[in-house]
Amino acid sequence: MSVDLILRLAEHPRIVADKEACGNMGQIQDLLHRKPADFSVLSGDDALTLPMMVCGAQGIISVASNMFPAEMVKMTHAAAEGDFKTALEVYNWIYPFFVNQFIETNPVPVKTYMASKGMLEEVFRLPLVPLNTLHKETLLATFKH
């Protein structure tokens, strides 16, 4: 959606936030600069959460928090408190997963990772199918350091 459309929607009393996943930091910054004070902007892209919060976004609606809840909370709380050093340390640790979480169709990589940690069974219902072997190895190798 365009910034102008989001700002028009923000005028409605029941619309209090925007989950922003456009991927365009210029557009996001424009929205953050022009939004009403009582309107929140939340990241809808894990990889852009910290950059967005540095620019004034209020938080995230996250995929990665299903696998790394404590780390995502630590990163977003640190950023919200202005502790960007801590936020960046967490962000840099988790960034490889941000890159690989969409190696194939969401939510298959997420469920595959969670299954590897014993959090759920690695079972998929059509139209979802398991990751191909190479992608699975790449994903699971992300945090073997």
At 81-98, the pLDDT tens digits run: 999 999 999 999 999 988
Q: What's this model's pTM, rounded to 2 decimal places?
A: 0.86
**pLDDT at res. 145:** 53
User: Which band of pLDDT confidence, cut at 50, 70 and 90, is reported for residue 32?
Assistant: very high
DSSP 35: S
Q: Which two tokens stand for residue 41?
A: 């902007």
* CB-CB contact of 61 with 43 (8 Å): yes
At 49-74, the pLDDT tens digits run: 999 999 999 999 999 998 899 999 99
Determine the Cα–Cα distance for residues 97 and 139; give it in Å rounded to an integer.
7
Residue predicted with more confidence, 83 or 142: 83
